Amino acid sequence: MITLPSPGRRFALVTETYPPQINGVANTLGQLCRGLLARQHQLQLIRPAMGDEQPGSNRQDNLHERRVRGLPIPGYSNLQWGLPAGRALARLWRKERPDAVYLATEGPLGWSALRTARRMGIPVISGFHTNFQQYSDHFHLGLLHEPAMRYLRWFHNQTLTTLVASNTQQRELSRLGLHNLGLLGRGVDCERFHPTHRDCELRAEWGAGKDDLVLLHVGRLSPEKNPDLLVAAWEQLKASSGSPQLHLVIVGDGPAQDDLRKRLPDAIFTGPLTGAPLARAYASADIFVFPSLTETFGNVVTEAMASGLAVCAFDTAAAHQHIQDRYSGSLAPPAHDRVFIENLRWLTADQEGRRSIRLHARHRACQLDWSSVVARFERYLVQAAGRQPALAQAVPSK
């Protein structure tokens, strides 16, 4: 049976981060927005004003951007909390009522959008893009863990569906008491991230010869990303390596950057990269080192795989979903640092194994295109639009 495309709808997407900001949530939201616009839907993109921007509206074809006021997130000067905007949203939605609302973030802006949509009877779905419940340990906020989890459970269980990035996250959130979970997944652009972008001149700038190995790490440099293991793994590799020569390149920035520069004086820090420079950095390396345990997905894992790198990661999120151990990458049980380091040592030592893994990694990544993810996202929104949620009797004030 042929499924005809649904007629264009109006959807509202509420998020506290969006391109050109550099993070997995912004990247995902950018892909989803572009995909929905290509399917002839009308979009209201509601987000905090960034940098020198002022709150206000901007319309371009089927995209209506509504920028609201925000406050910087401590430790992340380039990110903001969106301030509550219930009155502005009510005015907008009375004039241009969306068929469904998608909440990408759970901060004050997302809370006010949830409250407003429920009062107006507009169907709402949400996405769980960041593992806030895991961050409390890294930022010494243990006393706030339970209150934060109660809020997250309340927030997401008020929506018709909560979309998640991976099946491991789906199981974890179900265990924590979130209901009506749906698997969305993530894609990767296998034309942008491609082994042919390998650049010998860039490798030479890194000091890497033809037969040297470049270990690459890409991501936010922050305590919740487990940078201590990156340091420990590199130190142990240097202490035990013979040949080939090893080099470490770190792409990104964040609150742990200064500390990492002191602890890894021989590493190359590029700062944040996007577009062609990022694709060139991936393809010019050999092994991708990813010690994080707090990912909802980890787009950088599939970007590295698409670029033909051998990934060393923990068996969770994107790595769990798309890597077969010792076939298309190497996986360590979560929190087993010794196994992680042993896997990395094996990848540096076994040239034939590494070559095979890189080929299989690229093959697997090429099966993950964004168009299927966008189509799945569209189906969730259309299904929500066909349902009329019960109006909230009482939505707690913040």
Which tens digits make up the pLDDT trace of 61-101?
A: 999 999 999 877 665 556 667 889 999 999 999 999 999 99
Q: What percent of the chain has pLDDT above 90?
A: 76
When pLDDT is cut at 50, 70 and 90, the band that residue 128 belongs to is very high
Mean pLDDT lowest among 150-164, 292-306, 348-362, 377-391: 377-391
At 4 the pLDDT is 40
What ranges in the chain are assigned the alpha helix state H? Answer: 24-38, 86-95, 108-120, 132-138, 145-157, 167-175, 200-205, 227-240, 257-263, 275-283, 299-306, 317-322, 337-349, 351-365, 370-385
pLDDT tens per residue across span 266-284: 999 999 999 999 999 999 9
pTM of the entire structure? Answer: 0.87
At 143 the pLDDT is 53
pLDDT at position 17 over 70:
yes
At 115 the pLDDT is 97
At 389 the pLDDT is 55
- Fill in the DSSP letter of residue 387: -
* Mean predicted confidence (pLDDT) in 7-32: 91
At 145 the pLDDT is 65
Q: Which residue has the higher pLDDT, 79 or 225?
A: 225
Q: 10-187+370-385 maps to which CATH number?
A: 3.40.50.2000
From 3.10.450.750, 3.40.50.2000, 1.10.240.10, 1.10.3720.10, which CATH number describes the 195-365 domain? Answer: 3.40.50.2000
Q: Which of 217, 219, 242, 241 is nearest to 231 (CA)?
A: 217
How does the average pLDDT of the chain come out, rounded? Answer: 90
Distance of alpha carbon 210 from alpha carbon 389, whole angstroms: 61
CA atoms within 13 A on the CB side of 183: 13
Q: What percent of the chain has pLDDT above 70?
A: 89
Mean pLDDT lowest among 10-24, 259-273, 379-393: 379-393
Mean pLDDT lowest among 64-68, 266-270, 285-289, 296-300: 296-300
At 76 the pLDDT is 58
At 3 the pLDDT is 41
Mean pLDDT lowest among 29-38, 143-152, 211-220, 228-237: 143-152
Distance of alpha carbon 92 from alpha carbon 37, whole angstroms: 20
At 1 the pLDDT is 36
pLDDT tens per residue across span 141-200: 455 667 888 999 999 999 999 999 988 889 989 999 999 999 999 999 999 999 999 999
Domain ranges of the chain: 10-187+370-385, 195-365
Q: Which residue has the higher pLDDT, 285 or 133?
A: 285
Cα angle for residues 353, 280, 323 (degrees, 5° grid): 35
At 167 the pLDDT is 86
Distance of alpha carbon 345 from alpha carbon 241, whole angstroms: 8
pLDDT at position 23 over 90:
no
At 75 the pLDDT is 58
Distance of alpha carbon 95 from alpha carbon 49, whole angstroms: 22
pLDDT at position 113 over 60:
yes
**Sequence-ordered list of residues with C-beta below 8 angstroms from that of 82, at least 6 positions apart, any chain:** 14, 16, 46, 47, 48, 68, 69, 70, 105, 107, 108, 109, 110
**Sequence-ordered list of residues with C-beta below 8 angstroms from that of 19, at least 6 positions apart, any chain:** 26, 27, 29, 30
At 241 the pLDDT is 61
Give yes or no on whether 10-187+370-385 and 195-365 have one common fold. Answer: yes
When pLDDT is cut at 50, 70 and 90, the band that residue 233 belongs to is very high
When pLDDT is cut at 50, 70 and 90, the band that residue 138 belongs to is very low
